[in-house]
Amino acid sequence: MIDIKLIRENRDLVKENIKKKFQDEKLPLVDEVYEYDERYRECKSKGDNLRNEKNKLSSSIGEFMRNKQIDEANHTKEKVSLIQKEIEDLEQEEVELEEKIKKIMMVIPNIIDESVPIGKDDSENVEVEKFGEPIVPKYEIPYHADIIESLNGLDKVSAGRTSGEGFYYLLGDIARLHEAMISYARDYMIEKGFTYAIPPFMIHSDVVTGVMSFPEMEAMMYKIEGEDLYLIGTSEHSMIGRFKDQLIKKEDLPIKMTSYSPCFRKEGGSHGLEERGLYRVHQFEKEEMIVLCEPEDSMKFYNDMWKYTVEVFRNMDVPVRQLECCSGDLADLKVKSCDIEAWSPRQQKYFEVGSCSNLGDAQARRLGIRVKSENGNYYLHTLNNTVVASPRGLIALIENNYQEDGSILIPKVLQPYMGGMTKIEKK
């Protein structure tokens, strides 16, 4: 959510930003919220003047009574009563206008960084850099679900009986490999100076609307029936929500945290070959990172954070690339974002395994997270990034370490988490 002052002072900038995001249907909202805001401030100013007038008149009533000026006192009381009614009407109008302003401001997109490439959708995202050589071996690499099943590591049939489409059982050494990857990512981030946390896996609706846009919420979140609770789609939601309505000391910044959680999303179903495996599922696990920092430091942290994901995957012998998200592919709260994509030697193309985002002060405004300073309180910036998420990260790991004999080499960084195993073989 942007600052209303920006609407007051530079509507053209806000409209131009909307055009860059190809959301022209939102252009009329800028003028609409501007008019609501003007009326709101008029009501507030008039209400303040009437309260001052009421206070003056009220103080004079006692003097009239002491001087036995009963008619003047009663007349003044009538005037005070009329003014009070007018004040109450204005206060009601203020509440209604405030709600209208908030509703519109929640859907006006954040101002994107000037470095963001302009494009309509994800097809116009821009490759920035590749890390590692994308190799296609001479032997065939089977579909990832077939590889895992051949190693007795996957059971989707039973999961279909217990839970339905989009769920799965991971078993044996594959389940261990999955956990090894998450554990390694956790320890890697701790070594980078991030505090480890396991957050709540359910959050209230006011946290949901504070951390994400309405279209994202509708597309992603599972609601608990009869409760004001949603299952998290990613742990940064509850991690950022931890600081809701908090006044943070300047000297306590930056706050850097890494978190583990299961994640729950509505996506999934049978939409082709890739979806019959583990690429799109309703439940997965993830190691995440968040940063709360001074506004002037957020771009530095953004560039550090996506590089951490690159290093984690390169340490697992997976080639990756950084893909800059264009304006039309940015969610409304984001200032700048990039995807980290892993190489698939089977498909001979890259696919997304992580996303890094700078949200400026948008989440902080929605959640009321401010910095306490001698020069006044202000909103901080928030960032988030995927360290590694499984099963997608697991797919990349398996494909890039698959051997001709059907075994999977275990990268050196994961071997300590696998009891010293160097490969997973058919039994």
pLDDT digits (tens, 9 = 90+) for 220-263: 899 999 999 999 999 999 999 999 999 999 999 999 999 999 99
With contact defined as beta carbons under 8 Å apart, do 13 and 34 qualify? no
Taking the C-alpha atoms of residue 44 and residue 32, their distance in angstroms, rounded to an integer, is: 18
Q: Encode pLDDT of 102-132 as tens digits.
A: 999 999 999 999 999 999 999 999 999 999 9
Beta strands 247-249 and 222-223, pairing class? unpaired
**Can you give the residue ranges of every domain in the chain?**
4-105, 122-424
Report the mean per-residue pLDDT for the chain.
94
Q: Encode pLDDT of 168-201 as tens digits.
A: 999 999 999 999 999 999 999 999 999 999 999 9
Q: Is the pLDDT of residue 336 over 70?
A: yes
The CATH architecture that domain 122-424 belongs to is 2-Layer Sandwich (3.30)
Taking the C-alpha atoms of residue 342 and residue 322, their distance in angstroms, rounded to an integer, is: 9
Taking the C-alpha atoms of residue 211 and residue 195, their distance in angstroms, rounded to an integer, is: 21
Is the CA virtual torsion 290, 296, 297, 300 positive or negative? positive
Q: Is the pLDDT of residue 269 over 50?
A: no
pLDDT at 150: 96
Q: Is 313 helix (H, G, I), strand (E, B) or coil?
A: helix
With contact defined as beta carbons under 8 Å apart, do 57 and 69 qualify? no
Beta strands 283-293 and 255-264, pairing class? antiparallel
Six token digits for residue 325: 């998200």
pLDDT at 275: 55
Residue for token pair 């190799």: 135
Q: Encode pLDDT of 308-329 as tens digits.
A: 999 999 999 999 999 999 999 9
Q: Encode pLDDT of 33-77 as tens digits.
A: 999 999 999 999 999 999 999 988 888 887 888 888 888 888 889
Candidates 3.90.950.10, 3.40.50.300, 1.10.287.40, 3.30.750.24; CATH matching 4-105: 1.10.287.40
pLDDT at 64: 82
Non-local CB neighbours of 172 within 8 Å, separated by 6+ positions: 151, 152, 153
pLDDT at 14: 97
pTM: 0.89
pLDDT at 155: 94
Measuring CA to CA, which residue among 270, 386, 398, 410 is closest to residue 343?
Answer: 398
Q: Encode pLDDT of 391-402 as tens digits.
A: 999 999 999 999
pLDDT at 270: 42
With contact defined as beta carbons under 8 Å apart, do 238 and 232 qualify? yes
pLDDT at 216: 74
Taking the C-alpha atoms of residue 239 and residue 207, their distance in angstroms, rounded to an integer, is: 10
With contact defined as beta carbons under 8 Å apart, do 141 and 351 qualify? no
pLDDT at 254: 98
Taking the C-alpha atoms of residue 341 and residue 331, their distance in angstroms, rounded to an integer, is: 18
Per-residue pLDDT band for 218 (boundaries 50, 70, 90) equals confident
Taking the C-alpha atoms of residue 22 and residue 329, their distance in angstroms, rounded to an integer, is: 10
Q: Is the pLDDT of residue 274 over 70?
A: no
Taking the C-alpha atoms of residue 342 and residue 354, their distance in angstroms, rounded to an integer, is: 9
Measuring CA to CA, which residue among 203, 241, 238, 235 is closest to residue 222?
Answer: 203
Q: Encode pLDDT of 351-366 as tens digits.
A: 999 999 999 999 999 9
Single-letter code of the amino acid located at 139: Y
Rounded mean pLDDT, 13-31? 97
With contact defined as beta carbons under 8 Å apart, do 405 and 388 qualify? no
Beta strands 370-372 and 408-409, pairing class? unpaired
Q: Encode pLDDT of 405-414 as tens digits.
A: 999 999 999 9
Taking the C-alpha atoms of residue 278 and residue 215, their distance in angstroms, rounded to an integer, is: 24
Measuring CA to CA, which residue among 182, 403, 148 is closest to residue 312?
Answer: 182
Per-residue pLDDT band for 268 (boundaries 50, 70, 90) equals very low
